[in-house]
Amino acid sequence: MSEGKPHIDAMDQEEARRVARLIAGFIRGELSRTEWDDLDDWIAASDKNMQLFEQLTDEDHLSESVEWLLQVGGQTIIRQKKDSQTAYPRLQSPIGKLWIYGAAAVMLIIFGAVYYKYAILPGKRNVTVPEWPANVDTEPGNKAPVLIFRDGKRASLSLRTDSSLLVAPNVYAHIGERVLNYPEEANGLANDDWNILQTPAGNDYGLRLSDGSSVRLNTASAIRYPVAFNHTERIVELRGEAYFEVQEDPARPFLVKCGNTTIRVTGTRFNINAYPGENKHSVVLLEGSVEIQRLSEQVRLLPNQQAILIDSSLPGSPAQENPGKIIFAGKEIMVRDHAGAEEDIAWTKGLFSFHKAAIEEVMQQAAKWYGITVRYNGKTNQEFSGNIPRSSTLEEFLQMLQLSGEIRFAINGKQVVVQP
């Protein structure tokens, strides 16, 4: 079996089905507290269990896993399971019958859960969802945000103020001052269309969803969402950073999905920083409460608390970078008190805001905003505190940092060299 393919240890049919149902319940978000504990125990039992769980719940691997199952005989299994009551056929396979039973049980149920999540759950019906863009425009300047439709077509939001834009059949959104407003569901919308709003480097943009909730999308970010939410829940997907003000609706929870992480709310204010490839993802709560589910762990945040999401596959130890009393420390999530919650949303007010920030954190923000790469010649332990307007040019931004007198910068095209 090639690297990256799922691996399932030999297990009897009953155990395979039990594990599969737990993982399927996790994907659907339907686990009880007892089931959460059972799943957590199974994941912790071995590194192979953890690897299997991560592969089966990772959106980037799901289609690969199903395709791989078909290659080892899953088509026969699925066809015979559909056409008869026989649990599984006898397959001639060098990898062993027990292994096939376990693989089939797990993958068939997981396949059903994935279908439920992506084909039925967004509106309890089949929908067409636009693909994520391959990359984000990192050229700074006056480039405007882009709206991507389900067929892949795009519309630039530049030079469009106080006008209307067709976002789905018979549905028009209003373009205001740096914000796109969708019509409220009270207008009787029932639509299967999803859109993606994407911001380039050096730009942020506002979004008012069909339920009245507001989103501010930071630079080099993208959010995928339905034109109109269904009557049971409100789901959006985020890559990058966004500030949310969610309209309260206990009957329809609001879910934000970021890879393997799901943030569940009913009505609240919070900020999510989840740029792909970065070792520090965080959720900061300003008002209300949210539940965060990441792999096998689940926590609840209260106002002025921060959750740091741990990705052990990436270098660095982000959970140890910031001060604050630790409330919870798990394998996947750490929760701590966070007095600087308002600083985390300073970007929505046009500011870079730093409080005892290392140069790497400062330049990470600059890289996303100005569309640059950064190289370090040496190390420095210097920390930075203060606010810098995001309207500043790159040269002005660097000059303000140099006022400390202990660090210098050199600009070479689109690369900035940091010289302690």
The burial class, CB within 10 Å (0-12 / 13-18 / 19+), for 184 is middle
Q: What confidence tens digit (pLDDT) does each residue in 360-384 have? A: 999 999 999 999 999 999 888 889 9
End position of a domain, from candidates 285, 307, 341: 341
Q: Which structural domain, as residue segments, surrounds residue 159? A: 146-341
Q: How far apart are CA 378 and CA 166, in angstroms?
A: 52
Q: Nearest to residue 330, comparing CAs of 47, 54, 40? A: 40
- Region 281-300: mean pLDDT is 92
Greatest Cα pair distance, the chain, in angstroms, is 77
Which CATH number fits the domain that encloses residue 387?
3.55.50.30
Q: What is the CA radius of gyration of the chain?
A: 23
Q: Which residues of 390-413 are buried (b: 16+ CB within 10 A; e: fewer)?
A: beeebeebbebbeeeeebebeeee
pLDDT tens column, 22-57 = 877 776 566 666 777 788 778 878 777 777 777 677
On whether both 190 and 274 belong to a single domain, the answer is: yes
- Residue scoring higher pLDDT (74 or 312): 312
CB 374 within 8 A of CB 407: no
The reply to whether 238 and 328 lie within a common domain is yes
Position 96 in a domain = yes
Contact 305, 336 (CB under 8 A): yes
pLDDT (tens digit, 9 = 90+) per residue, 392-411?
999 999 999 998 778 999 99
pLDDT at 314: 56
Euclidean distance between CA atoms 274 and 253, whole angstroms: 21
Taking each continuous run of H as one helix and of E as one strand, the counts in the chain are: 9, 24
* pTM of the complete model: 0.69
Q: For the domain that residue 325 is a member of, what is the CATH number? A: 2.60.120.1440
CA 310 to chain centroid = 13
248 or 86, which is more confident: 248
Task: Verify that 334 and 361 share a domain, yes or no.
Answer: no
User: What's the total number of domains in the chain?
Assistant: 3
For range 295-313, the mean pLDDT: 86
Do 163 and 87 fall into the same domain? no
pLDDT one-digit tens code per residue, 144-176:
899 999 888 999 897 567 888 999 888 889 999
For residues 401 and 288, membership in a common domain is answered with no
Helix ranges (DSSP H) in 371-412: 394-402
User: Rounded to 5 degrees, what are φ and ψ at 193?
Assistant: -80, 145
